[in-house]
Amino acid sequence: MKMKAAVLHDPKKLSIDEVEVPALRDDEVLVKVKATAICGTDLAFYLGKIPIDYPQVLGHEGVGIVEEVGKDVKGFTKGDHVIFNPAYFCGHCFYCERELWNCCENGGLLGRDRYGCFAEYVTVPGNSVIPLPKEISWEDGSTIQSLATVLRGWERIESVATPQKGDVVVVIGTGTPGLLFTRLAVLAGATVFASDRIEWKRDLAAKFGAIAVDPTKEDLEQLVKDASEGRGADFVIEAAGVPFTFQTGFNVARPGATMLAFGIQKDMGGVNGYDFYFKEVTVVGTRAMTNRTYKRAIELFQTGEFDLKTLVTDRFKLEELQANFDEMAENPSAHNRMVCFINQD
């Protein structure tokens, strides 16, 4: 059976091709894709900033309807609405046995290591498929993917200390993840400062309950000190992925604070080793998501505390994918969540 798929042949050379639907294995589920969002990682693949094998069908933040179920997969039938964890895992290695499925030594990522979901169909390992309540729209479902990733980062913060009422939290970078972290911290009762250079993103952060800060005009470090009796932030979430913002985050953290390095970057801003010693800040990393955080994300969304639609700035068809990649690369500050709708029959 043939399907339409967005195939990347080389950096910035993407076409909508007719390809074979991936053969279904006994431990997999075939999903008819309904929507897939562009992730920053997809854009990095497209631009050639992260090497992948060509040709490759991109996309990993998708939702859809079960079309066929492998004979070894239980709990799903044709017609079920599903979301799937693109960071697939084996379930039996050293890391999986310790519930570190996102670190699986035999795993990989849809759209990088196997065909992804910018396509009419995708095959997904059965242990990575999660039921999606039918009352959740395809658009919201695609954004729940990002919330699941954020919740993995939130778990990493909670492994050190749990944000609560009276704490001061600083979020640097208010793209989709930063806004979701902002909302989580507000719901925890913390005083939240959200820093971004882009005005409309700051406006969204304010709607989510934060004190929005323009770092080009305001002194973030002083604002945080004023709100914390001179100490600094109890928690810092770096979600911009830029070296100087990591340094900024470290500067605003109080001694003994917890800092999440969520933004993916090679350079950690040249933070001085003595500063690590003196401040005793706990810096934690985070990687991808787990099935557990997907289920938690669905439950949180159903509380009504997260308005995911406000995060989506662009909606388009599969045939328009390359134009949207190019626009996102050319003018990143004008876009946030970009959702591609597929199989709209």
User: For position 243, what pLDDT does the model report?
Assistant: 84
In this structure, the answer to whether residues 268 and 155 fall within a common structural domain is: yes
Specify which residues 63 forms β-bridges with.
35, 83
CB 3 within 8 A of CB 22: no
In this structure, the answer to whether residues 233 and 318 fall within a common structural domain is: no
Give the closest residue to 104 by CA, choosing from 301, 338, 290.
290
pLDDT tens per residue across span 63-111:
999 999 999 999 999 999 999 999 999 999 999 999 999 999 999 999 9
Q: How far is CA 138 from the centre of its chain?
A: 16
Prediction pTM value: 0.95
pLDDT tens per residue across span 5-20:
999 999 999 999 999 9
CB 190 within 8 A of CB 163: yes
In this structure, the answer to whether residues 336 and 233 fall within a common structural domain is: no
In a domain, 294, yes or no: no
Give the closest residue to 250 by CA, choosing from 205, 217, 280, 228.
280
User: For position 72, what pLDDT does the model report?
Assistant: 97
User: For position 157, what pLDDT does the model report?
Assistant: 98
Give the closest residue to 308 by CA, choosing from 117, 179, 168.
179
CA gap 308, 159 in Å, rounded: 26
- The amino acid present at 57, given as its one-letter code, is V
In a domain, 113, yes or no: yes
In this structure, the answer to whether residues 110 and 159 fall within a common structural domain is: no
User: For position 241, what pLDDT does the model report?
Assistant: 86
User: For position 269, what pLDDT does the model report?
Assistant: 67
In this structure, the answer to whether residues 156 and 277 fall within a common structural domain is: yes
In this structure, the answer to whether residues 23 and 66 fall within a common structural domain is: yes
CB 170 within 8 A of CB 224: yes
Domain end point (choices 237, 255, 285):
285
Give the closest residue to 87 by CA, choosing from 290, 285, 264.
290
How many CB atoms lie under 10 A from the CB of residue 35? 23
User: For position 273, what pLDDT does the model report?
Assistant: 81
CA gap 261, 172 in Å, rounded: 10
In a domain, 78, yes or no: yes
- What CATH number is attached to the domain comprising 64? 3.90.180.10
In a domain, 110, yes or no: yes
Give the closest residue to 80 by CA, choosing from 42, 132, 45, 4.
132
In this structure, the answer to whether residues 127 and 163 fall within a common structural domain is: no
- What CATH number is attached to the domain comprising 258? 3.40.50.720
In a domain, 90, yes or no: yes
In a domain, 101, yes or no: yes
Q: Structurally, how many domains does the chain consist of? A: 2
Return left, alpha or beta for 198; rule: phi > 0 is left, psi -120 to 50 is alpha, else beta.
beta
In a domain, 80, yes or no: yes
Sequence-distant (6+) residues with CB within 8 A of 99 are: 290, 292
In this structure, the answer to whether residues 80 and 112 fall within a common structural domain is: yes
First-residue to last-residue Cα distance in the chain: 18
In this structure, the answer to whether residues 101 and 157 fall within a common structural domain is: no
User: For position 90, what pLDDT does the model report?
Assistant: 96
Domain that holds residue 331: 2-132+307-341
In this structure, the answer to whether residues 311 and 263 fall within a common structural domain is: no
In this structure, the answer to whether residues 281 and 171 fall within a common structural domain is: yes
In a domain, 301, yes or no: no
| β-pair type (337-341, 28-38) | antiparallel
With helix as H, strand as E and coil as C, how does the chain read? CEEEEEEEEECCEEEEEEEECCCCCCCEEEEEEEEEEECHHHHHHHHCCCCCCCCEECCCEEEEEEEEECCCCCCCCCCCEEEECCCCCCCCCCCHHHCCHHHCCCCCCECCCECCCCECEEEEEHHHEEECCCCCCHHHHHHHHHHHHHHHHHHHHHCCCCCCCCCEEEEECCCHHHHHHHHHHHHCCCEEEEECCCHHHHHHHHHCCCEEECCCCCCHHHHHHHCCCCCCEEEEEECCCCHHHHHHHHHHEEEEEEEEECCCCCCCCCCCHHHHHHHCCEEEECCCCCHHHHHHHHHHHHCCCCCHHHHEEEEEEHHHHHHHHHHHHHCHHHCCEEEEECCCC
In this structure, the answer to whether residues 241 and 179 fall within a common structural domain is: yes
Spans in the chain with pLDDT lower than 50: none
Q: What are the C-alpha distances in Å from 161 to residues 71, 147, 240, 260?
A: 43, 20, 22, 12
